Structure 1
Amino acid sequence: MSITLWFDPICPFTWRTSRWVRDVATRRGEPVTWRFMSLAILNEGKEIPERLHKAHQKSRAALRVLAAAEEGFGQPAVDRLYTAIGHRVHDLDDDLTPDTLAAALADSGLPSDLLRAMDDTALDTLVSESHHLGQSRVGTESGSPVTAIDDGPGFFGPVVASVPAADEADRLIDAIRLLSTVPVFSELKRERAPLS
C-alpha cells in the first residue's frame, strides 16, 4: 500500500493527519508521497478574514521552500522539512516566519540557501500543479489534507483532532483503504472535534 498526502503546512488539522500517516507508514514499511496543497490557491478570489489571508501568504512562501527542497533533494527532504516546520509551527506555536523556516531548514539538515526560494514565484507552478492534481483526485474542491491510497480516489481528510494511538491509527488507515476500493462511496462526515 502506498499513501499520498497533499498538505498545506499552515493547517493544524493537516499536521495531525500527517503525523498519523507518517506513523502508520513507518511502522508498516509503506511509502508516503508528500504532495503540495495550497489554501491560498483554494481561496483565491474568495472573501476570507484578513488573518487567514496573511497565514495563507506565509504558507505560500513555505510551500516554495518545500518545493525547492524536493527539486534539489527529493521526497526525503520534503518529509524532513515538513516535519521540522510542522513541529515548530504546530507543536511549539512559532509563527511561520522566515526565521522559523531558516530554523526548520537547519533542523532538517538542508542547506540554508533554500530559504531564498521563499520569494521564487517560479516555484508556484510546481505547487499549483500538485494542488490541482490533488483536487482532481478528490473530484471536487477540497481543503487540506487530501489523502489517497494507491491509485484510488483522493479524499478530503481524514481530519483528526489528535494523532491516534497505534491500534486506532491502523484501523483508520485500513478503513480509508477499504473505502477507496468502493467506487460508489462518496462522502462521510460528522462534527469536527476541537484540536487536542
Structure 2
Amino acid sequence: MTTTSPRSGTTVADIWVDPRCPWAWITSRWMLEVEQVRPVETRFHIMSLSVLNEGREVPETYRQGMIDGWACVRVCIAAQQRHGNEVLRPLYNVMGRLIHHQKAGLGHDMIRAALEEAGLPADLIEAAADTSWDEPLRAEHHEGMDLVGSEVGTPVIHVAGPEGKPLAFFGPVLTPAPRAEAAGTLWDGVLAVASTDGFFELKRGRDRDPVFD
C-alpha cells in the first residue's frame, strides 16, 4: 500500500467508514469542512458493518443490508490494495453520493458507476463477490476499530494526541454537517474531550433522521 505524505504542519485525521452508513457519510462531509478551516488532512479507511455485526442479533430489516454491504467494501479494499490508499477518498466520495443522495443502492450498477467516475479500472468490480478480499478487509477494519472497542460502529477517527499518543474515538454522530467555522469549532471541541484522560462518552438520543445537504 502506498500513501501520500501530509502537508508540513498538518494534522492527519484517519477516518474509518463503511460506504453504506449514512451517519459516517455526514461525519465525513464535516471533516471535509474541517479541512478548509483547520490544518487537518483527512485520510480515509474502510471498516465493515457486516464484519462488525457478524454473529450478533440484528433486526431483520438490517440483516439484508449486512449481506448486500459486502460488495462495496470488498471493492474498496481491492482498489486500496492495488492502487494505494489515496484512491479511497475519491471512490468513497462517489459511492457515498450515489448511495445516500441518489439512492442508487449497494449493487453492482452503483459500484460500476462509482469506479468509472473515480477513474478506477472497471475490473475491480470482480472483487465484489470475491471472498479472498475479506482477509485484508478484516485487517483494515480491526486497525481502525480495535482501539475503540466493539461497542461502537462507524465513523471512527484516529488522530495524534498530546505527545504523539494516538487518540481514537467513535463519532461524532451529527446531522446535518456543520459548515465553515462551525465545523472547526466542533473539531476543536471533539479534540478537547478526546484528549481528556478517562473521558469515555457523551451522548443523547437522536431525534431526527440523517440530513444530506
TM-score (norm 1): 0.93
1:165 to 179, 194, 197: 179
Could you tell me which residue of structure 2 aligns to residue 46 of structure 1?
56
1:58 maps to 68
Distance 1:17 1:189 in 2: 16
TM-superposed deviation, 1:140: 4.2
Which of residues 88, 94, 97 is equivalent to 1:87? 97
- Which structure dedicates a bigger proportion of its chain to helix? 1
Q: Which residue of 2 aligns with 1:98?
A: 108
Is 2:85 aligned against 1:75? yes
**CA positional deviation for 1:47:** 1.9
Contact conserved, 1:152 with 1:180, CA < 8 A, in 2? no
SS across alignment from 1:70: helix
* Equivalence for 2:7: none
Q: Which residue number in structure 2 is paired with residue 110 of structure 1?
A: 120
Inter-partner Cα distance in structure 1 for 2:22 and 2:103: 10
SS of the residue aligned with 1:2? strand
Distance 1:163 1:128 in 2: 29
Q: Partner letter of residue 148 of structure 1?
A: H
Matches within 5 A, 1:1-16: 1-16=11-26
Q: Which residue is 1:17 aligned to?
A: 27
Q: Is 2:77–2:133's contact at 8 Å kept on the other side of the alignment?
A: yes
SS at match of 2:133: helix
In 2: Cα distance, 1:26 partner to 1:75 partner: 21
State the Cα distance separating 1:50 from its structure 2 match: 2.9
Contact 2:33 2:179 in 1 (8 A): no
Q: Following the alignment from structure 1 to structure 2, what is the Cα–Cα distance between the partners of residues 157 and 173? A: 11
- Which residue in 2 is equivalent to 1:32? 42
What CA distance in whole angstroms lies between the structure 2 residues aligned with 1:139 and 1:50? Answer: 25
Q: Secondary structure at the match of 1:138?
A: coil
Q: What percentage of residue pairs aligned between the two structures are identical?
A: 36
Q: Answer yes or no: is 1:153 the counterpart of 2:163.
A: no
Cα deviation, residue 135, structure 1: 2.2
The alpha-carbon distance between structure 1 residues 140 and 118, as it changes in their structure 2 partners (threshold 3 A), is closer
Q: What do you get for the CA RMSD once the two structures are aligned?
A: 1.6
Query: 1:167–1:26: structure 2 CA closer, same or farther, 3 Å change rule?
Result: closer
What TM-score do you get using the length of structure 2 for normalisation?
A: 0.86
Partner SS, residue 137 of structure 1: coil
Question: Are the counterparts in 2 of residues 135 and 141 from structure 1 also a CA contact under 8 Å?
Answer: no
For the residues of structure 2 that align with 1:33 and 1:183, how far apart are their CA atoms?
25
On the 8 A contact 1:5/1:32 being kept in 2, the answer is yes
Q: What is the rounded CA distance, in whole Å, between the counterparts of 2:131 and 2:37 in structure 1?
A: 37
Q: 3-state DSSP class of the match of 2:147? A: helix
Structure 1 partner of 2:191: 177
Query: When the two structures are aligned, how many residues end up with a matched partner?
Result: 196
The answer to whether the Cα contact below 8 Å between 1:16 and 1:161 also exists between their aligned partners in 2 is yes
1:126-185 Cα shifts (integer Å, max 9, x gaps): 111122222221134211111122252321110011111112110111112222221221
CA contact (8 A) 2:36 2:180 kept: no
